[in-house]
Structure 1
Amino acid sequence: MSLNKKLSMEISGNLFDYKLFDTLKAIDKTKSQRKAAKELCISHPVLNRRILKAEELLSEKLVIVSSTGTNLTEYALNILEEYETYENRLSDSTDSITVAGGPISCEFIRQLAQAYQMDNLKIIETDKQTAFDLANKGLIDILGFDDPVQAYIYDIEPTPLGRDNLVLLSHDEVELNSISDLNGLKFVEVEGSAQRLAWTTLANYDLDFDIVYVVNSYHEAIRLVEQNENLYTFINNSMAYTSQHTSNIISKETRHIISALNVKNNSFIESFLNIASHRAQKVTVNYGFEHL
């Protein structure tokens, strides 16, 4: 997966990267396709094909060629104006750091930023797909991964921040002597979370278990378990301080890496993530994470 460093924009169901909008800007400035191509350091045929392809996808004319030169159509001017609005919004936020990801990686970065007195952090705690979409559009600086498989699937190499593991959450205190004691239990699953490690572990031990609810957040899973004595779920050890009845019965089997990607290759972000993965390990242990 390739993460764009510049803004892309979807129009009528088609995603266009910055090259089209840079082309429209150059044409609007020079009033000439040849001069625009020269300014963009591309050939005139390449620029022409770029325009024609976009016009075909949009079923709209983007340029008008006349004896006085080349001008953008009203439609092209409108989409360029919208694009520049988003660009300016990005430019206005360069003094802040925007993070998007799951609840665990976002909390890791939030706590670390507080420890280092970074007050310019914006957190977007969201689902995996939304976080990836924001990264692809260049709207965030850091992309957090609660589960290493999310990065592996897309062949991304994020910076490891710390280790975490899963603990069993129950309505009441239960005595568990071995993983086999989990046989026959009913569970709440948090979609897209590291709980996949728990289900794999139970399956490897050939246990019978039922996933009776699938929810979008840990908060919803915790609420369901707290309201029903027959339900169980797994939560990250780093968030276990919020719950009373937990067990580390499968902690060793569910250890995994929390990581983050420097989306825009920003040198300050790179420095911050390096601190997180090295010097700050003693700090993050206090939040329930393990050393790398």
Structure 2
Amino acid sequence: MVGNKKLNLEINNVLYDYKLFDTLKSVKLNKSQRKAAKDLGISHTVLNRRIINAEKLLSEKLVVVSNSGSHLTAFALNLLDEYESYERRLVDDNVWTMAGGFVSCEFIRELAKAYHLDDIKIIQTDLETSLDLARKGIVDIVGFDDPVQAYIRNLEPVALGRDKLMLLTHDGDEFNDLSDLNGLKFVEVEGSAQRLAWTTLANYDLDFDIVTSVDSFHEAICMVEQDSTLYTFINNSLSYTYLNTNDILSEDTRHIISALNVKNSVEVESFLNFASHNAQKLTSKFGFEPL
């Protein structure tokens, strides 16, 4: 670490002090709680209490003791890995970090390749987490899968390309008219542009049922593939990997994929300008429509 930068991490609305993560690092290195405590300059009792308190809050075991010493659990190792990735971000100003939904993240990933931008980290997560990371100064770019999410927050991201929604269907399904969608049961992906589909169906006074909401397209797709009575909408930029799609609502669900230059960086602005202008001839290759 450089200077006195220390990173705390919020998990499920609970803020965990950097001392917990220093403890996990030391236990991992020393494979002994007593040696870890000595290395940190604290008593074994303080270290043990720190671990136990965190385990209670997380409802997860962090350290296990065996004949070979003390070791981090798989949960603790994953937690520490995530923390260290954020920690490295504090001192590595040459590496950009982008957070956002699946669609905008994959779009930025492809655009970064075209821009020959190798040093970029992608965090696919929900919008609230993305914005929270932005407020903490951890990310340089926030991606928006749904343009209204930026609008309602008075943000002005850079438009990158257009997308539309496709109905994910099953073998033998035929949808030739909007009335064919009447009575269908859907899986919703929270925070996505699917709100355009629900609004359109409601405007046409169709009867439909959102039976469950999930966090990711992957989860929604798996549910639909396993149950022939369920349907969902996926972005056209994803649909090339799926055989059974229908464009019955595509004209009503066109929307903009965009990204925000969080820190007003000149370098990031240059990249986003490239993405929104020079790279438009490439967007169709990624399944998007040019602006």
TM-score by length of 2: 0.70
Letter in 2 for 1:269: V
Equivalent residue runs for 1:23-172 within 5 Å: 89-172=88-171
CA contact 1:9–1:137 (8 Å) conserved in 2 = no
Q: Which residue of 2 aligns with 1:252?
A: 251
- Cα offset, 1:214, TM superposition: 1.0
1:239 aligns with 2:205: no
Q: Which residue of 2 aligns with 1:69?
A: none
1:289 aligns with 2:269: no
CA contact 1:101–1:128 (8 Å) conserved in 2 = yes
CA contact 2:157–2:260 (8 Å) conserved in 1 = yes
CA contact 2:141–2:261 (8 Å) conserved in 1 = yes
Deviations 1:76-126 (Å, cap 9, x if unpaired)?
A: xxxxxxxxx999744422111100000000000001111222211100000
Q: Which moved more, 1:241-250 or 1:167-176?
A: 167-176
Q: Distance in 2 between matches of 1:217 and 1:244?
A: 19
- Cα offset, 1:208, TM superposition: 0.3
User: Structure 1's 9 and 234: CA in aligned 2 closer, same or farther, altered over 3 A?
Assistant: same
Q: Distance in 2 between matches of 1:14 and 1:230?
A: 39
Q: Distance in 2 between matches of 1:268 and 1:195?
A: 32
Q: Which residue of 2 aligns with 1:207?
A: 206
User: Structure 1's 87 and 161: CA in aligned 2 closer, same or farther, altered over 3 A?
Assistant: closer
Deviations 1:204-232 (Å, cap 9, x if unpaired)?
A: 00000011121110000000111111110
- Secondary structure of the residue that 1:200 maps to in structure 2? helix
User: Structure 1's 172 and 117: CA in aligned 2 closer, same or farther, altered over 3 A?
Assistant: same
Letter in 2 for 1:177: N
Q: Which residue of 1 aligns with 2:182?
A: 183
- Cα offset, 1:258, TM superposition: 0.4
Structure 1 segments of 4+ aligned residues over 6 angstroms from their partners: 7-11, 85-88
Higher gyration radius (CA): 1
Q: Where does the alignment leave 5 or more consecutive residues of structure 2 unmatched?
A: 1-5, 16-83
- Cα offset, 1:145, TM superposition: 0.3
CA contact 1:168–1:235 (8 Å) conserved in 2 = yes
Q: Distance in 2 between matches of 1:235 and 1:130?
A: 22
CA contact 1:166–1:254 (8 Å) conserved in 2 = yes
CA contact 1:171–1:227 (8 Å) conserved in 2 = no
Letter in 2 for 1:152: Y
Q: Distance in 2 between matches of 1:228 and 1:175?
A: 17
CA contact 1:187–1:233 (8 Å) conserved in 2 = yes
Q: Which residue of 1 aligns with 2:222?
A: 223
Letter in 1 for 2:281: K
User: Structure 1's 113 and 212: CA in aligned 2 closer, same or farther, altered over 3 A?
Assistant: same
**Percent of matched pairs sharing the same residue:** 63
Letter in 1 for 2:136: K
Q: Which residue of 1 aligns with 2:42?
A: none
- Secondary structure of the residue that 1:286 maps to in structure 2? helix
Deviations 1:164-211 (Å, cap 9, x if unpaired)?
A: 000000132422111111001111101111100000000000000011
CA contact 1:143–1:263 (8 Å) conserved in 2 = yes
Q: Distance in 1 between matches of 2:284 and 2:136?
A: 33
User: Structure 1's 263 and 8: CA in aligned 2 closer, same or farther, altered over 3 A?
Assistant: farther
Q: Distance in 1 between matches of 2:123 and 2:139?
A: 9
1:273 aligns with 2:272: yes
- Secondary structure of the residue that 2:240 maps to in structure 1? helix
